[in-house]
Chain A
């Protein structure tokens, strides 16, 4: 099977540049504003979109994404509405891959088979489920593959040589390298370490390797994009959303343009990374 994710990475490879991957939470700060942001992301230079499925207990998230999940839940976001959001986005965009990211319980509660089927119909291309390691592949990873959807696995600094094959085994679409030991929004990773880790993973897979956690500025994004097939930014974007809420928590008129402008600066950072010939 070839998914939108495969096609997008293949196209970018031809262009000779890394992907810019933006993360936003579904329904943050509310459904309508969230949809407006999503619709603007491709033109702001986003190559792939990760949409966070809000959860009350996101154990690997730092304060920015925790807060964005709670904002979305308070605004009434549900799993069903998250799929509605994707459906609405797809009406105007058939090409940009959408990856749903989150935690297993809301999916499990929805029913895995039903969720996979509804997500596919809505226009979702893949999933990142933080608390489903390779050991639990039978829960959702294998059913997703069977349904023709990508299941993107996280590799981390604690994933050693010995464990990496198990992590890569059923991964498809791309590999998401978590560049730091820690939670989202943590301190930036050392570029040299990231470059070594990406090389280590690439030695064992032909899949693209995207890097996330700790990337906050266009400069960070450019540094990472020089060594990886993609750079993911999440916490910095949702913080930008938070910074453009008024004191009642409602979005200000500046919110959407400010967020998209910030996204554009990050995307430009990624695009600038390999203007000089790539190191390899």
Chain B
């Protein structure tokens, strides 16, 4: 582990976290991301920008989200004290809204009149369609044709919210292809369009600004834990697809050396089967979607499809800051399989009366793994980043239950 003074100063002026990040985009987009960077810097100096955002967070999203002591799960594990940061209670049901509100406020500041987004499970699509409706901007969401099939309720939600959902059939028809298609739209409609990227990835400054907008999760956690327990938590756990909820929870704690930080990737059918979405554990550094990061790829540098029971983790890459945090050793990355996540999903539902999304069920599965061996005064926080309503149909299918 390298000895750094701070883990919180990145990215550098070229958008690099160590060797990761950067601006690997077509020339057509280059002036746009430079303009975005310039406008974001200006917004950061503008108190009214944050005042408006705070107001929306409070009255529209419902922040702060509670820090909840999961008493029965704690009893069940018989070890660490387990807390949930309850971002699943946010408006639209996940942490995605934090980022969408921030980005649409930037879009409005920049005078953009059209919003585009990519989505996998549909959570980011719904959150984007929601903020676009709230501010009266037309919105186009690119979604893989396969995901549209898997996530029909979210597709209908987006349509109700007035968004146009465009099925993507190119490539494998999943999240990475939706992102390619959104980039193609952006290259074509450069003047009026703002691309709201859903995770802490993409060309600089996206990984930074998504992280910044999601860091409200970690800042609140720090305050709330101080209030409840009078100290910092000992362990943080969050699931990782692209990694936006995780970086949001982790970032405010990176320079607190006593806090043990763990990211949980989607292990799919198990790393050994090759069918997973664990880019850090099973991938190699590469360049895709505007940034250098760990990618699932073959020996010729062709991108491979991720697999996960959770469409929200089904991405062959990961945010560049996570790639860097892995290399520096500051954050530990592990994985949980589809079936482990399903077990955690059911246990949490029965013991806590909270139906978690399949994404945080991966994080929870790791919590169940480590909590029993930790002392009872060990404070563990897991980010409950989404609710499971969207997943009940696919869970039923996996459990062999026929609905209707």
Interface: B25 (CB within 8 A): yes
Chain A residues closer than 8 Å to B189, beta-carbon distance: 181
**Complex contact B286–A109 (CB within 8 A):** yes
Interface: B349 (CB within 8 A): no
Chain A residues closer than 8 Å to B289, beta-carbon distance: 57, 59
**Complex contact A133–B26 (CB within 8 A):** yes
- How distant is A165 from chain B, measured CB to nearest CB, in Å? 14
Complex CA distance for A63 and B22, rounded to whole angstroms: 27
Closest to B22 in A: A136
Binds B, one of A100-108, A238-246, A258-266: A100-108
Most buried by A among B24, B29, B170: B24
Q: A57-B180, A60-B26 are in contact. Are A183 and B188 (CB under 8 A)?
A: yes
Closest to A182 in B: B188
**Complex contact A133–B30 (CB within 8 A):** yes
**Complex contact B300–A109 (CB within 8 A):** yes
Interface: B31 (CB within 8 A): yes
- How distant is B279 from chain A, measured CB to nearest CB, in Å? 13
Interface: B187 (CB within 8 A): yes
| A-contact 0/1 string along B18-54, CB 8 Å cutoff | 0000111111111110000000000000000000000
**Complex contact A131–B290 (CB within 8 A):** yes
Interface: B295 (CB within 8 A): yes
Complex CA distance for A62 and B183, rounded to whole angstroms: 11
Chain B residues closer than 8 Å to A105, beta-carbon distance: 286-288, 295, 297, 301, 303
B171's partner among A56, A60, A104, A186 (CB-CB below 8 A) is A56
Complex CA distance for A73 and B297, rounded to whole angstroms: 14
**Complex contact A106–B25 (CB within 8 A):** no
- How distant is A147 from chain B, measured CB to nearest CB, in Å? 20
Chain B residues closer than 8 Å to A178, beta-carbon distance: 27-28
Closest to A58 in B: B180
Closest to B30 in A: A133
Chain A residues closer than 8 Å to B25, beta-carbon distance: 131, 133
Complex CA distance for A103 and B302, rounded to whole angstroms: 10
Chain B residues closer than 8 Å to A70, beta-carbon distance: 171
**Complex contact B286–A183 (CB within 8 A):** no
B184's partner among A109, A159, A183 (CB-CB below 8 A) is A183
How would you classify the secondary structure of chain B's contact residues: helix, strand, loop or mixed?
mixed
- How distant is B30 from chain A, measured CB to nearest CB, in Å? 5
**Complex contact B28–A156 (CB within 8 A):** yes
**Complex contact A110–B301 (CB within 8 A):** yes
Closest to A77 in B: B300
A45-63: which residues lie under 8 A (CB-CB) from chain B? 54-60, 62-63
Interface: A32 (CB within 8 A): no
Interface: A228 (CB within 8 A): no
| B-contact 0/1 string along A144-170, CB 8 Å cutoff | 000000000111111110010001000
Closest to B176 in A: A57
Chain B residues closer than 8 Å to A136, beta-carbon distance: 22-24
Q: A105-B297, A108-B287 are in contact. Are A131 and B26 (CB under 8 A)?
A: yes
Q: How many residues of B contact A (CB 8 A)?
A: 38
| A-contact 0/1 string along B292-314, CB 8 Å cutoff | 10010100111100000000000
Chain B residues closer than 8 Å to A182, beta-carbon distance: 28, 184, 187-188
**Complex contact B301–A158 (CB within 8 A):** no
Chain B residues closer than 8 Å to A58, beta-carbon distance: 180
| B-contact 0/1 string along A61-74, CB 8 Å cutoff | 01100100010010
Closest to B15 in A: A135
Chain A residues closer than 8 Å to B180, beta-carbon distance: 57-59
B190's partner among A57, A154, A158, A186 (CB-CB below 8 A) is A158
Interface: B334 (CB within 8 A): no
Closest to B180 in A: A59
Interface: A132 (CB within 8 A): yes
Interface: A35 (CB within 8 A): no
Interface: A88 (CB within 8 A): no
Closest to A66 in B: B170
- How distant is B2 from chain A, measured CB to nearest CB, in Å? 22
Q: A57-B303, A60-B187 are in contact. Are A131 and B31 (CB under 8 A)?
A: no
**Complex contact B301–A79 (CB within 8 A):** yes
Q: A60-B184, A63-B170, A109-B297 are in contact. Are A104 and B24 (CB under 8 A)?
A: yes
Interface: A78 (CB within 8 A): yes
**Complex contact A158–B27 (CB within 8 A):** yes
B31's partner among A54, A56, A158 (CB-CB below 8 A) is A158
Interface: A130 (CB within 8 A): yes
Chain B residues closer than 8 Å to A59, beta-carbon distance: 26, 180, 183-184, 187, 289
Interface: B14 (CB within 8 A): yes
Closest to A155 in B: B27
- How distant is A174 from chain B, measured CB to nearest CB, in Å? 15
Complex CA distance for A154 and B28, rounded to whole angstroms: 9
Closest to B292 in A: A108
**Complex contact A183–B187 (CB within 8 A):** yes
Chain A residues closer than 8 Å to B301, beta-carbon distance: 55, 79, 105-110
**Closest 8 interchain pairs by CB?**
A109-B301, A106-B301, A182-B188, A156-B28, A131-B24, A60-B26, A59-B183, A133-B30
Other than the known A79-B301, A106-B300, A182-B187, what 5 A-B pairs have Cβ atoms closer than 8 Å?
A: A59-B187, A103-B287, A106-B301, A108-B301, A178-B28
Interface residues of B (CB under 8 A from A): 14, 22-32, 170-171, 176-177, 180, 183-184, 187-191, 284-290, 292, 295, 297, 300-303
What are 30 A-B pairs at a CB distance below 8 A?
Answer: A55-B301, A57-B176, A57-B180, A57-B289, A60-B28, A60-B187, A79-B300, A79-B301, A103-B287, A105-B303, A106-B301, A106-B302, A108-B285, A108-B287, A108-B292, A108-B301, A130-B26, A131-B25, A133-B23, A133-B25, A135-B22, A153-B27, A154-B26, A154-B28, A155-B27, A158-B32, A159-B31, A178-B27, A181-B189, A182-B28
